[in-house]
């Protein structure tokens, strides 16, 4: 498949494995890139800039294809010197960066001077327009269905994706609610240049999390997520477990974040990811988990998504148009 995204980033397929905290290691990023997608490491998964430098080198040893580094700004409680992480990204010769959280504007001049292409994740068209104005190359727009932080607007992808593509001149990635070739075909039909998937790549053989968590996603349906942190204006979509229900109950009773912090701590999340106990902590997952039925390799996943999308576009949709009566649209 050839789109503005594949040409801009030098990748084979219009598919991005978005940056996921803790999950975005060299192993997953390289596997996604070797499959023809764009794999993305997460900078803050590494506790130090020196650790990131080593992980970038390790990723480069595992793939000859383009890969990116995610830098999420302003959503981690601890103090972080982002300039040091930016220095490492530039010094390491990385040519694609995915930014999220706050605006990447403070770093844009340095990224551009280094010839780095910037993908910025947004949850609203107005944020995407600001990102375009400051010079990002691609916007990844997150619909309400996404894992993690969908924002406070609650606009689903079926509306948000075409709203973004009609407002922006730069390429748009559809993100949230996509797990298969149907999602890719739909995103292209809505004007996007590709798709960004997190949850779907989370459930692959190479994803560095416990098989028990992957199996829980395979077993879930589209109703097995819950929104928490709504009252704190920092909405997050997570797997609906006892922790999520308890957090929601505390919020409903007027509790502040300090009353739920121990429940959603990084230590509890790490326990869930590493032991497979889905009840141990907060587990970030999107509604598209209800569409996931297997645990393939990244190579199998990308090939299946592309072949299914091509079949939908060339066979099913083409036949619908071809079968329409002469002079009458297929929608009539």
Name the helix (H) or strand (E) containing 227: strand 225-228
Report d(CA 155, CA 257) in Å as an integer.
25
Same-domain check for residues 58 and 142: yes
* 143: DSSP letter: P
Pairing of strands 138-142, 236-239: unpaired
Range of the domain at 77: 4-197+296-323
Whether the model clears a pTM of 0.85, i.e. scores above it, the answer is yes
User: In this structure, is residue 96 part of a structural domain?
Assistant: yes
Reply yes or no on whether the pLDDT at 323 is more than 70: no
Burial (CB count <10 Å: 0-12, 13-18, 19+), residue 103 = middle
pLDDT digits (tens, 9 = 90+) for 304-316: 999 999 999 999 8
Mark whether 122 and 174 lie in a shared domain: yes
Asked if the structure places residue 219 within a domain, the reply is yes
* Residues 300, 283 share a domain: no
Contact 241, 281 (CB under 8 A): no
Domains: count for the chain: 2
Stated as kind and residue range, the H or E segment containing 141 is strand 138-142
If asked whether residues 123 and 272 sit together in one domain, one would say no
194-211 in b/e form (b: 16+ CB < 10 A) is bbbbbbbbbbbebbebbe
Residue 225 lies in a domain: yes
Q: Are residues 148 and 192 in the same domain?
A: yes
Percent of the chain whose pLDDT exceeds 90: 92
Is residue 75 domain-resident? Answer: yes
pLDDT at 330: 47
303 and 257 in one domain? no
Encode pLDDT of 177-218 as tens digits: 999 999 999 999 999 999 999 999 999 999 999 999 999 999
Residue 284 counted as domain residue: yes
The CATH number assigned to the domain holding 129 equals 3.20.20.70
DSSP run (H or E) holding 118? strand 117-122
Pairing relation of β-strands 172-175 and 138-142? parallel
Indicate whether 26 and 169 sit together in one domain: yes
Check whether 228 has a pLDDT greater than 60: yes
Q: Do 240 and 103 lie in a common domain?
A: no
Please give the pLDDT value at position 77: 55
Which pLDDT tens digit goes with each residue over 106-123?
A: 999 999 999 999 999 999
The answer as to whether 329 is a domain residue is: no
For 281-290, write each residue's pLDDT tens digit. 999 999 999 9
State residue 13 phi and psi, 5-degree precision: -130, 150
pLDDT, average across residues 130-147:
97
Residues 130 and 32 reside in one and the same domain: yes
Mark whether 16 and 74 lie in a shared domain. Answer: yes
Q: CB-based contacts of 256: which residues, under 8 Å, 6+ apart?
A: 232
In terms of domains, do 266 and 308 share one?
no
């Amino acid at each position: 498949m050839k789109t503005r995204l594949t040409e801009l980033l030098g990748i084979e397929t219009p598919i991005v494995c978005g940056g996921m905290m803790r999950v975005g290691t060299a192993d997953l990023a390289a596997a996604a890139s070797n499959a023809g997608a764009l794999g993305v490491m997460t900078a803050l998964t590494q506790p130090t800039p020196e650790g990131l430098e080593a992980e970038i080198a390790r990723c480069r040893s595992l793939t000859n294809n383009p890969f990116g580094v995610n830098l999420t700004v302003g959503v981690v409680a601890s103090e972080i010197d982002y300039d040091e992480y930016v220095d490492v990204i530039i010094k390491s010769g990385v040519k694609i960066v995915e930014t999220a959280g706050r605006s990447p504007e403070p770093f844009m001049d340095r990224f551009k001077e280094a010839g780095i292409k910037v993908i910025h994740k947004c949850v609203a068209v107005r944020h995407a327009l600001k990102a375009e104005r400051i010079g990002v190359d691609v916007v990844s727009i997150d619909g309400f269905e996404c894992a993690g932080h969908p924002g406070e607007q609650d606009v689903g992808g079926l509306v948000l994706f075409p709203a973004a593509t009609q407002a922006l001149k730069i390429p748009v990635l559809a993100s949230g609610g996509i797990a298969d070739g149907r999602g890719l075909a739909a995103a292209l039909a809505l004007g996007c240049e590709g798709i960004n998937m997190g949850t779907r790549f989370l459930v692959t053989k190479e994803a560095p999390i416990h098989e028990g968590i992957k199996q829980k996603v395979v077993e879930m349906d589209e109703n097995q997520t819950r929104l928490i942190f709504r009252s704190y204006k920092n909405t997050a979509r997570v797997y609906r477990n006892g922790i999520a229900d308890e957090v929601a109950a505390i919020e409903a009773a007027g509790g502040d974040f300090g009353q739920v912090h121990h429940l959603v701590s990084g230590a509890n999340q790490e326990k869930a990811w590493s032991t497979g106990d889905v009840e141990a902590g907060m587990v970030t997952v999107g509604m598209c988990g209800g569409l996931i039925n297997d645990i393939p390799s990244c190579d199998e996943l990308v090939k299946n998504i592309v072949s299914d999308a091509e079949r939908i576009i060339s066979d099913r949709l083409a036949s619908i148009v071809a079968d329409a009566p002469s002079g009458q649209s297929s929608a009539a």
